Structure 1
Amino acid sequence: MTAAARKAFEEAVALENAGNLDRALVSYLKAQELSPDDTEIAYRTASALLQTGYLDEAQSQLRRIVFAEPDHLNARASLGNCQLLLGDMANARQNFADVLAQAPDNRNALYGLASVLLKEDKPEEASVPARRLVELLPDTPAVLSLFADTQARVDQKAAAIAAYRKALKADPDYGPALIGLSQTLLLRKRFDEVIELTIRASERAPADPLPLDLLSDALAGKGALEDAREAALAALKLSPRSIQTHVRLSSIARKFGDHGAALKHALAAHDLDKSAKEPLNALGAALAALKYSNQARSVLTAMSRGDGLEPAIRELVEGLVVAERKSPEAGPVSSPATSATEEPSSDNPDAAVKIAQEKETKQEIQHQESLEPVTSKKLLATDGDQLPNVLGLRRQDRS
């Protein structure tokens, strides 16, 4: 390393230690230009590129280092992290495994391998490196949250909750722990705690729609549908192409009796991903709520076959949305089919057939809804507290 390169390198290290990573990267690049064959400078430059989001450049540089020095474990682990962020799971997993074969307690590789295995939906395998990390770093929020993620995915909810809480004790504003604990408690219908946690998460990361989606589910679980809809609309504003948020809004609107909105959001979700089943299920439920049982049945049948939405059904839905918008106070549009509550006449066998079809369709809708996550189920509030005010949500007095 030349004197000029060392001066630039030391300046870069000082800037990085001071938290000024962008300026540090400039100095690292200058040092590397002055001393292109220095491995230490190359590695620190690659690390700065990785941390500032220049993933392709970081990967290229880390590959050169690993090729020149195969036993440079820090560079290999960083290369694995870079590949993980780029979605190259196979190569990331291999690099982490290679590092751990030589250094079983390499923390970077343990964390990376657990993360890859979680993304590959292998939580039991992921729990092994995650548990070892907890032994090495028992009070680190990121490590505790990663371990909690593995436990939540293998149905060890109590262990997951304990780990999330320990992470939040170390750092009350740690986002992944707030989200992970919210998701786990939501499955246990502990809605008040979820509301408090998701508000904190949303305040910490106001541009992230996920806390608002979870908040909406918790509010809906308490029966606060207006507030649930407002939270979901706020989430949709942040992520307009979110299929799940459109489906959530369709479900909430249907419970409100706002059939036009229920149809509109379900159709919007379907248009975003015509292969997804959830939007078609929501659309079928919305049509059934309007007593369009035959059309609802057609939608559900098409969904089970993997077919798309029939043009005639789309035309009907679009027309109903317009009709509902023009007549917001009007009740549901009458279906051409006989109401399920009518008794069949003995001399009208067609009516009996229609009633049987309508009942069968209703049963199908109920079955499909039973498969929805618990987060969309409605459960009335069990306490007398007002919900906390957040994002201007209108609160309902339950006293």
Structure 2
Amino acid sequence: MTETLRGIPDTNARQEKINAALDAIAYLEQDERFDEVIPVYQDLVGRYPDDVELLFKMATIMLRNGDLRESVAHLRKVLFMKPEHLAARSNMGNALLLLGYLEQAKEAFDAVVEAEPENRNALYGLATILIKMHGHAEAEPYARCLVQLIPNSAPALSLLGDALSAETKAEAATLNYRAALRVDSQYVPALVGLAKLLIIRKKSEEALAHLDKAHDLQPRNVEVLFAMGHAYLLEENTSSAVESFELAHACEPENAAALVHLSIGKRKLGLVYAGVYHAAAAWRLAPGNKQVSNALGAALAAAGATDAARDVLTSSSRNSQFLEATEAAIKEVEYLAEQGYERPVREEKVAPEPSEHSKSIEARALEEAGESVFKAQSEDAAPEELAEDVVKGKSEVPDELEEKASS
């Protein structure tokens, strides 16, 4: 008992030192000058490594500063010392979600919601993850619960719109997006979500009005630029669509989806060599991706490299690398594109009236306007069927394949 009592002054003195140090940097933290704040936390944690709350605060600052992996490492220490620390577990979910570890992030948020069903951060995180994993129906209850807790929140309303948009509930999704914009007229996710639904309904003018506003607010937002490109394509303004896709590529040069969109846009302008150039660059970033291989195969077919197109379109089903002749053909076309050459434009053929099947494919592509080509793997056999023309030796470019790849 005496030892415990003797320890109290030391504990209080230690806490006073920690509080004094944190008070001294409070203004830096308020100004989000995290690079100056973090060294102070690291010094304090080094001196008091058993202080769970101090360690948690440092991990949270690192999360806010974008130091995601460092934040996760320290949050794991917090949870090791105090497994019931829900705030740390919730932040762990946030960090893992930002790192792209969806399954692990979901486990963290599930644990938080199980212990605290109305934890807003965990509800938002779970709904977001399930939407990314195409579990929109599963995401809806979490999003609805969040809206009930914070009915005047633009992020919550927009999230519910996202959950409803992929189901047969477009009207309800639209209402939620509009409600979010009444709360915050500059909330970009709601502007983009509403624009996508308007594109599906072929209301490109209204969609572009929302997207122009979103672009003014976030000019480097690739999702906004993708959606703008699809809206322009709906208006048959291919040049403006290509400009949007070029901006997306400039913002994120390593984004394979931007390259696929750019490839398809260039081909629509008749720049088939440039189409191959961009599709090949996308393939190098995402080798084996089915949508990318469809785009590259169609581009090669348009460039007259039928054998190479056939090899590309069948390589994923064979689970094999390209033939040397295919790689040589791709490099040759890329060289021509780099030198500014283009294939002579062939005489246009009268296109037949699109079938109901091709219309349904176009509708699905428009529904996914602005989405990354990696966000969905279609379960139907349409790409394979449409690729058969090239695989069997026909040189015409299948337009439906092009539209499917653009989604």
Q: What is the deviation of 1:247? A: 2.3
Alignment of 1:166-181 (within 5 A): 166-181=179-194
- State the match for 1:221 in structure 2: 234
Instruction: Return the offset for 1:143.
Output: 1.4
Q: Name the CA shift for 1:54/1:274 in 2 (closer, same or farther; >3 Å).
A: closer
Change (3 A) 1:257 1:80: closer
Deviations 1:279-315 (A, max 9, x none): 4433443344455656544543445544444333443
TM-aligned CA deviation for residue 188 of structure 1: 2.9
Q: Which residue of 1 aligns with 2:368?
A: none
| Structure 1 residue 138, shift from structure 2 partner | 0.8
1:368 counterpart = 2:381: no
- 1:140 is matched with 153
**Secondary structure, in 3 states, of the residue corresponding to 2:228?**
helix
Residue 82 of structure 1 is matched in structure 2 by: 95
For residues 225-277 of structure 1, the C-alpha deviation after alignment (integer angstroms, 9 at most, x for no partner) is 11112222222222223322222222222222223222322333233333123
Q: Does 1:127 align with 2:140?
A: yes
Between 1 and 2, higher relative CO (CA 8 Å, sep ≥ 6) is seen in 2
CA shift digits 1:339-393 (9 cap, x unpaired): 9xxxxxxxxxxxxxxxx999973688245346445x6xxxxxxxxxxxxxxxxxx
1:361 counterpart SS class? coil
Following TM superposition, by how much is the alpha carbon of 1:324 offset from its aligned partner in structure 2, in angstroms? Answer: 6.8
Q: 1:333 to 1:310 in 2, by over 3 A?
A: farther
TM-score by length of 2: 0.73
Distance 1:217 1:263 in 2: 20
Deviates more, 1:287-296 or 1:251-260: 287-296
RMSD (Å) for aligned C-alpha atoms:
3.7
Count of aligned pairs between the two proteins: 356
Shift of 1:104: 1.6
Assess if the C-alpha contact under 8 Å between 2:215 and 2:225 holds in 1.
Answer: yes
Q: Is the 8 A contact 1:294 1:361 kept in 2?
A: no
Aligned equivalents of 1:359 and 1:62: distance in 2? 55
Q: How does 1:1-399 map to 2 (within 5 A)?
A: 1-2=12-13, 3-13=16-26, 16=29, 25=38, 37-289=50-302, 296-302=309-315, 304-320=317-333, 331-332=344-345, 361=394, 365-369=398-402, 371-372=404-405
Q: Is the alpha carbon distance of 1:78 and 1:192 closer, same or farther for their aligned partners in structure 2, counting shifts above 3 Å?
A: same
Query: Secondary structure of the equivalent of 1:195?
Result: helix
Q: Look at both structures and tell me which one has the larger radius of gyration over its CA atoms.
A: 1
Deviation at 1:140, TM superposition (A): 1.0
Alignment partners' CA distance in 1, 2:296 and 2:106: 41
Q: Give distance in 2, aligned partners of 1:275 and 1:329.
A: 27
2:113·2:122 contact (CA, 8 Å) conserved in 1?
Answer: yes
Segment drifting more, 116-125 vs 22-31 = 22-31
AA at the equivalent of 1:368 = L
**Unmatched runs of 5 consecutive residues or more in structure 1:** 340-355, 376-399
The residue identity in structure 1 corresponding to 2:81 is: A
Kept in 1: contact 2:298–2:397 (CA 8 A): no
- Name the aligned partner's letter for residue 138 of structure 2: E
Q: Deviations over 1:145-197 (max 9, x none)?
A: 22222112334222222222222222222222233333333333322233222
Partners in 2 of 1:198 and 1:230 — Cα distance?
A: 14
C-alpha distance in 2 between matches for 1:144 and 1:29: 38
Matched-pair contact (CA < 8 Å) for 2:276–2:300: yes
* Partner Cα distance (1:231, 1:70) in 2: 47
Residue 217 of structure 1 and its aligned partner are, at CA, apart by 1.6
**Following the alignment from structure 2 to structure 1, what is the Cα–Cα distance between the partners of residues 216 and 200?**
23
Q: Which residue of 2 aligns with 1:384?
A: none
| C-alpha contact (below 8 Å) 2:302/2:395 kept by paired residues | no
CA positional deviation for 1:223: 0.6
What CA deviation, in whole Å up to 9, does each residue of 1:90-122 have, x standing for no partner? 443333233323322121222222233333332
CA distance in 1 between counterparts of 2:280 and 2:98 reads 33
Q: Counterparts of 1:254 and 1:289 in 2: how far apart (Å)?
A: 8
CA distance in 2, matches of 1:17, 1:323: 54
Unaligned runs of 5+ in 2: 1-11, 350-388
Does the residue aligned with 1:172 lie in a helix, a strand or coil? coil
Counterpart CA distance in 2 for 1:30 and 1:173 is: 40
Distance in 2 between the 1:117 and 1:327 partners?
Answer: 45
Q: Which moved more, 1:40-49 or 1:289-298?
A: 289-298
Quickly say closer, same or farther: Cα 1:150–1:35, change in 2 above 3 A: same
Tell me the SS of whatever aligns to 1:269.
helix
Give the % identical residues: 32
Q: Which residue of 1 aligns with 2:363?
A: none
Question: Aligned pair in 2 of structure 1 residues 364, 71: CA closer, same or farther (>3 Å)?
Answer: same
Work out the CA distance in 2 between the residues paired with 1:34 and 1:296: 63
Equivalent residue letter for 1:208: N
Distance in 2 separating the partners of 1:17 and 1:329? 55
Query: Distance between the aligned counterparts of 1:330 and 1:66, measured in 2?
Result: 61
